């Protein structure tokens, strides 16, 4: 069973961060894990020598003011959990300077985190192409699986018992690690897993016939072949009994639609962590899903299973 000893949740004090903290706290309570709450603030590079004067106080360097303000926000943000006896002595708050997409993976490595949890606002449009999002950058550099919790998700970010977990399968090495991770999350209950493969069917296949048996449309042949391969994949990974789904069309749209229609509680998927200019033009299925999924998304890479 998935049994993290240390969970890192990164927060920016917004609505999605609150939901991420709730999900991380639920996991920490369930598994008796240590919970590190991390906030990364950007120091004032532009005017470090500036002074801030507050009522009743002497002048304070701008850098000290930014740090003090962040620490006060962290104290208020985590206050509801401080009285939680289930987390007593196991919750630790950290406020550090730097850039979030750099400091979150670095902190995860230094603390030995087994899981990173963070929220995302699902940024779209040209700003996303130019800047990406913290969540997507962390996905590519994280040393452990990453759980993404969207602000506009289901009312309960993560139930204590998971009965409907969706695992996209493209038959690559990341898919095998995703299945293993998902199985850990549900405590080995194969019946809680839904394996799904999405077949990209060309637009021209509607009337194309394949001389197999009495003749089948190409779209049906592609579906049947994918289902056969999915059954073999399930058998090879010891998850016979999991529900199998084969969809056609856009992988990201199909996965989000299935997660919505089936009221999935969690999506666990692999990513190859594409880098470079092609990433900004093409994106990846994992990153598109995490921006639109109705439930939290856990992203894993094959390297985690090495």
Element (H, E) at 73: helix 62-82
pLDDT given at position 51 = 77
For every residue of 165-202, DSSP letters joined together read: EEEE--SSHHHHHHHHHHHHHTTT-GGGEEEEEEE---
pLDDT given at position 276 = 47
For every residue of 146-163, DSSP letters joined together read: EEEEETTS-SSS--SS--
Alpha-carbon gap, residue 272 to 174, rounded angstroms: 7
For every residue of 230-254, DSSP letters joined together read: HHHHHHHTT-TTSEEEEEES-HHHH
Average pLDDT per block of 10 residues along the chain, 306 residues long? 86 90 92 94 77 76 87 95 89 95 95 92 47 70 89 72 93 89 92 92 56 64 89 95 92 92 93 51 66 88 60
Strand partners, 165: 193, 266
Alpha-carbon gap, residue 225 to 202, rounded angstroms: 15
For every residue of 259-277, DSSP letters joined together read: HHHTT-SEEEEE-----SH
| 1-160 shares its CATH topology with 162-306 | yes
pLDDT given at position 280 = 41
According to CATH, the topology of domain 1-160 is Rossmann fold (3.40.50)
Strand partners, 243: 194
Q: Parallel, antiparallel, or unpaired: how do β-strands 209-210 and 216-217 relate? A: antiparallel
pLDDT given at position 130 = 40
User: Which two structure tokens, joined as six digits, stand for 271?
Assistant: 């990513």
pLDDT given at position 154 = 61
pLDDT given at position 110 = 96
Residue 10 to residues 70, 121, 241, 248, 274: CA-CA distances in angstroms?
13, 14, 36, 36, 23
Predicted TM-score of the model (pTM): 0.83
Nearest alpha carbon to residue 267 among 242, 282, 251, 286: 286
pLDDT given at position 142 = 87
User: Which two structure tokens, joined as six digits, stand for 86?
Assistant: 């289930």
Which residues touch 235 (CB under 8 Å, ≥6 apart)? none
Is residue 267 within 8 A of residue 166, CB to CB? The reply is yes
Indicate the DSSP class of residue 213.
T
Is the domain spanning 162-306 CATH 3.30.470.20? The answer is no
Hey, where are the domains in the chain? 1-160, 162-306
How remote is the C-alpha of 75 from its chain's centroid?
25
């Amino acid at each position: 069973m998935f049994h993290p000893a240390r969970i890192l949740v990164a927060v920016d004090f917004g609505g999605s961060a609150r939901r991420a903290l709730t999900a991380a706290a639920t996991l920490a309570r369930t598994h008796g894990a240590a919970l590190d709450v991390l906030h990364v603030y950007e120091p004032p590079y532009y005017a470090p020598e500036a002074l801030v004067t507050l009522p009743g106080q002497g002048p304070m360097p701008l850098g000290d003011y930014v740090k003090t303000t962040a620490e006060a926000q962290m104290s208020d943000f985590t206050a509801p959990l401080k009285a939680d006896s289930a987390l007593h002595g196991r919750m630790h708050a950290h406020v550090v300077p730097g850039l979030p997409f750099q400091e979150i993976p670095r902190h995860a490595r230094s603390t030995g985190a087994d899981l990173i949890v963070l929220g995302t606002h699902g940024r779209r449009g040209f700003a996303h192409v130019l800047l990406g999002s913290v969540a997507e950058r962390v996905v590519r550099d994280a040393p452990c699986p990453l759980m993404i919790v969207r602000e506009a998700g289901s009312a309960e970010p993560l139930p204590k018992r998971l009965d409907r977990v969706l695992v996209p399968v493209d038959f690559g090495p990341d898919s095998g690690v995703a299945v293993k991770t998902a199985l850990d999350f549900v405590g080995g209950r194969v019946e809680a897993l839904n394996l799904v493969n999405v077949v990209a069917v060309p637009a021209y296949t509607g009337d194309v016939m394949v001389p197999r048996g009495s003749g089948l449309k190409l779209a049906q042949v592609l579906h049947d072949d994918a289902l056969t391969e999915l059954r073999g994949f399930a058998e090879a990974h010891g998850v016979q009994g999991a529900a199998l789904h084969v969809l056609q069309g856009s992988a990201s749209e199909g996965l989000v639609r299935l997660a919505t229609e089936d009221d999935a509680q969690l999506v666990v998927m692999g990513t190859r962590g594409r880098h470079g200019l092609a990433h900004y033009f093409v994106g990846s299925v994992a990153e598109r899903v995490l921006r639109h999924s109705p439930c939290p998304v856990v992203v894993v890479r094959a390297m985690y299973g090495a």
